[in-house]
Structure 1
Amino acid sequence: MNSASAELMSVTDAIPVKKAFNSEYVLEVRDVRKEFPGVVALDNVSLRIRPGTVHALMGENGAGKSTLMKIIAGIYQPDRGEVRLRGEKVWLPTPLAAQEAGIAMIHQELLLMNPMTVAENIWIRREPKNRFGLVDHVAMNRMTQELFDRLNIDLDPESEISELSVANRQMVEIAKAVSFNSDVLIMDEPTSAITEKEVEHLFQIIRDLRARGIGIVYITHKMNELFEIADEFSVFRDGQYIATCASSDVTRDDIIRMMVGRDITQMFPKEEVELGDVVLSVKNLTRDGVFRDVSFDVRAGEILGFAGLVGSGRSDVAEALFGVKPADSGTINVFGQDVKITNPHQAIKLGMAFLTEDRKETGCFLPLDIQENIQAAVLHDQYVDGAGFVAENVLEDRSIEICQRLRVKTPNMHERIENLSGGNQQKVLIGRWLLTNPKILILDEPTRGIDVGAKAEIHSLITQLAHEGVAVIMISSEMPEVLGMSDRVLVMHEGHVTGIVDRSEADQVTIMDLAAR
C-alpha cells in the first residue's frame, strides 16, 4: 500500500475512539504565568480539561484566554508553570510540536493561505506523495472530499481559499483541525463568522468528537452557545483564573458577574432620539451579480440595522457606499447632494466612516502601533496645517482621549496593535473613525469577537453618537443586537431588500421570515 492510500484510509475510517490513559484529565495547565512588555497576560492560572467534554473558556477581551490557548498550542512559551497532556508533562516549543503531541487549534483570526486550494491548506506538511516523491494532488483532493463527506461540508477541495466567504473559510479551518485526530481540540470563537444553520452543523461535529473522547476547549463570547454545547466552563478576568463551574449550575447573570466583576444592567441601551433630516438617501443601488435595486434613507440620529443571512449582500452594500467596491448604477445622495463615490477617500471627505467586518484583513495595520493605527484615516485632511505638516501634539492628545473613552487596555499608545486582544483591536478601529468626526457611520459587525462587557460599552457609544446626530448603519448577524439597537431594520436576501421594519414591529420571526425569502 502506498503512502497516499494509507492516508486515504485514515480519513475515510471513522475517527478512532481515544485510548485510555493514566489521568482524569486529558489536558492540565498548572500555575502558568506569561508577561509581555508592560503587561501581565497570565498570572499563575490553571485549567483542567476532561476527555470527552466541551470546556468553555469565558472572559472579557484581554482576560488572557487566547494567550493561554497559544501557550497550549505551542505558539507562546510560558515564563513559569507547566502543561500536562494525558498526565505527562510536555514542552511545546512550536505549533508543530503541539500538533504532533495531539493538540489542534482553530484560531479566531483565520490562518489559511489564500493562493492555495482548500485541499492544500488542509494537508499542508502532510501531503500524500506519489512514487516519484511529488505531491499526489488526485489523492489529496480525494482525501479532502472524504473528510468533507464525513463532516457534511459542501465545498470543492480544488477551490482557492481566496474565492471562499469568511464562513466557508471557517469551515475549512474546522475540517483541518479535525483531520489531525487530536486528543485536544481548541476552538477560538469558531462561530463568529458563520450562520445559525452552520452553527448547528458545527455543534453536531463537536458532539460527535466529544462522544469519541476528545477534549474540546471552546472560547466564546456568546452565552447561548455556552449553555447549548458546553459541559463546564472556566472564567478568567484580567489574566487571573476566577472559577470553574458546571454549565448546568449557573445562570447567564452569574457568568457575567464572574467575567466583569460587576453587574451589567443594560446590554442594549437604546434610547429614543429625535431624528433629524435625511442625511443619506440611496436609490436603486446596484452592483452587477452582487446586489440590485437597493433603496433606503437614513436620518440624523437614526440607527438603521441591516439584517440578513451571510451572503445576502449586506456588507457588499456597505462597501459600495464607502467606495471600496463602487456600485455600477443607482444614486447616492449625501446631505441633499447626489454624489459619486469611487474610493474611500471621497467617502471620508463627505463625512462617512466605515468599520469593516474583518479587522485582521481589512482593518488593522498589524505591524504598526496603536497611535499609527488610530490616526490612519485623518492624516490627509484633518489635523494637517496649510503647509502640509501634521499637528502631532493635538492629534496625539485626541488619540489618547479616544482610547481612554473606549477603555482600550494597553500599556501605552506605542504598543503594536497585533499584541492587543481582538476586542481591544476592535476598539482601536472604532476610535480611528471617531477621530474623523463622522456624520454617517457604517458599522459592519461592530461587536464580533467582543466580550459581553465591551459589547455593552460599544452599544452605549453607538447610542451616544446617535444622540449627537450621527446617522448609523449597523450590520449585524446577531439578532438580539439588531432588534435591541435599531430604530428600523432593513432586511436583505440574495442581494435584494425584502423589507424595512420599524422597531415597534420588529421581532425575530418577522426578520427571519424576510431574510429567508
Structure 2
Amino acid sequence: MRGIGKHFAGVAALTDASLEVGRGEVHALIGQNGAGKSTLIKILTGAYRRDVGEVLFDGRPIDPSSPKDARRLGISTIYQEVNLVPFRSVAENVFLGREPRRFGLIDWRRVHDRAAELLRRFGIEIDVRRPLGSYNIAVQQMVAIARAVSFDARLVVMDEPTSSLDEQEVEILFGVIRQLKESGVSVIFVSHRLDELYAVCDRVTVMRDGRTVAASAMRDIGKLELVSTMLGRRMTEVERGGATGFTGSAHHGREPLLAVEGLRQGRRVQDASVELRAGEIVGLAGLLGSGRTEVARVLFGADALEGGTLRLNGRPVRFQSPADAIRAGIGFCSEDRKSEGIIPDMSIRENMTLALLPAMSRAGIVDTYHQQSVVWTFIRRLGIKCASPDQKIRELSGGNQQKVLLARWLCMNPKVLLLDEPTRGIDVGAKAEIQALIQELADGGMGVLMISSELEELVEGADRVVVLRDGRTVAELDGDAVSEPALMHAMAHGHSQDPAETAHG
C-alpha cells in the first residue's frame, strides 16, 4: 500500500500512508488510537474506498469494492469486535454464505463436521449446533478467527485478535499463526500488547496521526523505542514517564462507600466480597470466567443479587435495574464497547448525554443548549478527537469511543464508577490518558472499581486488588503487597502467598 490518503467529513484520516507485507510474513501494525490503522485495514479489505494512492497484491494493482470482493482476491479479516450472528449456530457462522451443498441443498452433516474439525485446530471442543450467542466472548472470538482462516486466504488480517482471549487461548492462536506462516500465508497482526508482537511478528509498521512513521524488523527495535515512536516522544520522556505513566493513589477514605459481602449470582459467582472507599481505586483480578464482570453487573443492577448483602454509604440496598443504580450515583463502563456501550449510528453528542437526558428534559423536550454545553465541556476535558459533536461515534477510534463512554458517566457526577477492562483494545497513548483520568477521578473523591486482565495495570494503578477465583474472593492485596507474582499466585492457588513460601522461593 503506497501513498494512501483518506478523508472523512473534511478531516484527514490518512495522509501518504504506506504498508508493505512480505509473503509468509507475520507483520505487526501498531499506533495510537486515531493513528489510522483501522482505516488503512478497511481500505485494504474493501470496507472503505481510498481517495488517493495504490494497493498492490501479489504485484498486481487491486481496488476491492467490498469485504466480499477482498475475500475473493484472497484477503480475509478478523475484526476486534466479533461481527458474527449470535442467534445462528456456531457451524452456520463459520460457513455463512458458503455452506457445503448436496443436490442443491445444504449438507448439514458436512457443515457440522467441518466446523467441529476446524475448531479442534484451536483446541476448542464445543457443540457447534448451539447458537453462537450462548458461548462467552472468548469462544466467539475463536469462532471468528476459525471462520477467517477457513477461507484459504493468502493474507489474513487480525485486528486485536487476542483482546478477549486468556493465555492458553493466545498460545493456541499463535500456533495457528505459525502454521499459516509455514504454509506461505501472510498475516497482518494488530495488537497493543507489545509482548505479543515480539512473540509472533517478524516485522513492524508504526503509524501516527494518519501517517506511516517507521517500519522495521522486530529484532531491530526495542520496546522503549517502539513506544516512543508511537507516542512521538523522545526516548528520555518515555523512560521518565513510563509506558503507562500511571501510579496508584495513596488516598483512602475511612468508611466503605460501597460494600458487597457473600455475593451470589447464578453459577458464576458463589461467594464474592469487595469493599470500595471514596477516593480509592480497587482492582478486581482473576482469570477468564472468575466472575469479575458478573460482580460488576450485580453492583450496577444489570443482574439480580441472588445472595449476600450490598451496602451503599453503610445502608443496605437492592437494585432492581441499572436505573436504580444510576439514581444512587453508580456508573458502569462495560467491557464490550460495541454491543453494550456505544450506539454506533448515533452521534457523539447523543451517546455522551444518554444517561443525562432525563435531567436535561422538560415536558419531554431536551434543552439542546445545555446538552451542547455539557458535550463540549467533556470533549475538551477528555481530549476527544472528533470532527464535531454530531459525528457518528462509530467513526471514532476505540480510545476516543471509550472517552465518550467515560464522559457519559462523568457528566452524571457519580459517587462510584465501575470500569470493566477500561483500556481493552486501546493503544499506549490513549491508555495513559484514560489511566491518568481514572487517577484524577479518584483524587477527586470518587470510588473506582477497575476490572483488568492486565496485571501490570492493576499493580501500577490500584490501591488494593481483590482476586476472584471460580466466583469466590480468594485474596486481597494492599499497598506494597500488590505485585504480579502475588496476583498470579492467588489466581493459580486460590489464596495469598504465604511469606514463608516467598522466603523459600
Query: C-alpha displacement at 1:288, in angstroms?
Result: 2.6
Contact 1:354/1:442 (CA < 8 Å) preserved in 2? yes
Equivalent of residue 77 in structure 1, options 16, 25, 49: 49
Aligned to 1:184: 155
In structure 1, the residue matched to 2:387 is: 411
Q: CA deviation at 1:393?
A: 2.1
CA distance in 2, matches of 1:399, 1:363: 17
Pick from 250, 258, 264 the counterpart of residue 229 of structure 2: 258
Give the corresponding residue for 2:288: 310
Partner of 1:247: 218
Deviation at 1:151, TM superposition (A): 3.3
**Matched-pair contact (CA < 8 Å) for 1:276–1:469:** no
2:59 aligns with one of 57, 73, 87 = 87
Deviation at 1:159, TM superposition (A): 2.1
The 3-state SS of whatever aligns with 1:373 is helix
- The CA deviation at 1:256 is 1.5
Quick one: which of 72, 94, 110 aligns to 2:82?
110
Aligned counterparts of 2:64 and 2:252: Cα–Cα separation in 1: 58
Deviation at 1:507, TM superposition (A): 1.9
Say whether 1:422 aligns with 2:390. Answer: no
Q: List gaps (5 residues or longer) in structure 1.
A: 1-28
Question: What is the count of residue pairs matched by the alignment?
Answer: 486
Q: Which amino acid aligns with 1:129?
A: R
Corresponding residue to 1:358 among 336, 339, 352: 336
Distance (Å, rounded) in 2 between the aligned partners of 1:392 and 1:94? 38
**Structure 2: distance between partners of 1:355 and 1:214:** 38
> SS of 2:169's equivalent?
helix
Contact 2:360/2:366 (8 A) holds in 1: yes
Residues 338-347 or 389-398, more deviating:
389-398
From 326, 344, 358, give the equivalent of 1:348.
326
**Map of 1:450 onto structure 2:** 426
2:92 corresponds, among 116, 120, 124, to: 120
Q: 1:145 aligns with which of 99, 116, 121?
A: 116
Per-residue deviation, 1:350: 0.7
**Residue pair 2:204, 2:218 contacting (<8 A) in 1 also:** yes
Matched with 1:392 is 368
**Is structure 2 residue 42 aligned with structure 1 residue 64?**
no
- Which is worse superposed, 36-45 or 409-418? 36-45
Give SS of 2:423's match.
Answer: coil
Whole-Å separation in 1 of the counterparts to 2:165 and 2:36 = 24
**Native 8 Å contact 1:33 1:78 kept in 2:** yes
Cα pair 2:249 2:463 within 8 Å, conserved: no
Q: Please tell me the residue identity of whatever aligns with 1:180.
A: F
Partner Cα separation in structure 1 for residue 67 and residue 200 of structure 2: 27
Q: 1:281: which partner in 2?
A: 259
Residue equivalent to 1:236: 207
| Correspondence list, 1:488-499, <5 A | 488-499=464-475
Residue 193 of structure 1, aligned match among 144, 164, 169: 164
1:48 partner SS: coil
1:322-333 to 2 correspondence within 5 Å? 322-333=300-311
**Which of 454, 474, 477 is the matching residue for 2:453?**
477
- 1:97 counterpart = 2:69: yes
CA 286–274 in structure 1, closer or farther in 2 if over 3 Å, else same: closer
Residue identity over aligned pairs, in percent, reads: 41
Residue 389 of structure 1: how far off its partner (Å) = 5.0
Deviations along 1:250-277, whole A, 9 cap, x unmatched?
Answer: 1212112211212441422323224343
Could you tell me whether the CA contact under 8 Å between 2:252 and 2:279 is conserved in 1?
A: yes
Question: What amino acid is aligned across from residue 314 of structure 2 in structure 1?
Answer: G
The 2-side partners of 1:41 and 1:276 are apart by 48
The CA deviation at 1:398 is 2.1
Residue 496 of structure 1 and its aligned partner are, at CA, apart by 1.2
CA-atom RMSD in angstroms:
1.4
The alpha-carbon deviation at position 347 of structure 1 amounts to 0.4
SS at match of 2:399: helix
Aligned AA (1:359): R
Secondary structure, aligned partner of 1:473: strand
Contact 2:11 2:387 in 1 (8 A): yes
Contact 1:305/1:473 (<8 A) preserved:
yes
Name the residue aligned to 1:221.
Answer: 192
| Contact kept in structure 1, 2:91 and 2:129, CA below 8 Å | yes
| TM-score between the two structures when normalised by the length of structure 2 | 0.94
Query: CA–CA distance in 2 between the matches of 1:457 and 1:288?
Result: 36
CA distance in 2, matches of 1:384, 1:181: 54
Structure 1 residue matching 2:332: 3-state secondary structure: strand
State yes or no: 1:162 paired with 2:133: yes
TM-score where L is the length of structure 1: 0.92
**Deviations 1:268-304 (Å, cap 9, x if unpaired)?**
2323224343111112211132212222211111111
Structure 2 residue 490 is the aligned partner of structure 1 residue 514: yes
Write the distance in 2 (CA, Å) between the matches of 1:243 and 1:180. 31
Taking the aligned partners of 1:478 and 1:449, their CA distance within structure 2 comes to 12
Aligned to 2:440: 464
Between the aligned partners of 2:209 and 2:266, the Cα distance in structure 1 is 48
**Any conservation in 1 of the 2:357–2:366 contact (CA below 8 Å)?**
yes
What SS does the corresponding residue of 1:446 show, helix, strand or coil?
coil
State the partner residue of 1:23: none
Deviation at 1:139, TM superposition (A): 0.9
Distance in 2 between residues matched to 1:391 and 1:37, nearest whole Å: 27
Q: Which residue type is aligned with residue 213 of structure 2?
A: I
Q: Could you tell me how far apart the structure 2 residues matched to 1:432 and 1:144 are?
A: 41
Deviations 1:104-140 (A, max 9, x none): 0001111110111111111111101122x11111111
* Contact persistence 1:128–1:140 (CA under 8 A): yes
Can you list the C-alpha shifts for 1:190-215, whole angstroms capped at 9, x where unaligned?
Answer: 11111111111111111111111111
2: CA distance between counterparts of 1:162 and 1:151?
19
For residue 378 of structure 1, what is the aligned residue in structure 2? 356
Say which SS state the counterpart of residue 162 (structure 1) adopts. helix
SS in 1 for 2:170: helix
Say whether the 8 Å CA contact 1:278–1:297 is kept in structure 2: yes
Task: For residue 413 of structure 1, report the CA deviation from its aligned partner.
Answer: 0.4
Match of 1:433 among 409, 423, 431: 409
Residues 333, 274 of structure 1: alpha-carbon distance in 2 compared, 3 angstrom cutoff:
closer
What are structure 2's unaligned runs of at least 5 residues? 495-505
Deviations 1:78-113 (A, max 9, x none): 111121111111121111111011000001111110
Structure 1 stretches of at least 4 aligned residues deviating more than 6 Å after TM superposition:
none
Q: Distance in 1 between matches of 2:466 and 2:248?
A: 17
Deviations 1:213-233 (A, max 9, x none): 111101111111111111110
The answer as to whether partners of 1:483 and 1:503 remain within 8 angstroms in 2 is no
What corresponds to 1:205 in structure 2? 176
Q: What is the letter of the counterpart of residue 111 of structure 1?
A: N
2:329 maps to 1:367: no
Q: Are 2:114 and 1:134 aligned? A: no
Contact 2:119 2:143 in 1 (8 A): no
What SS does the aligned partner of 2:101 have? coil
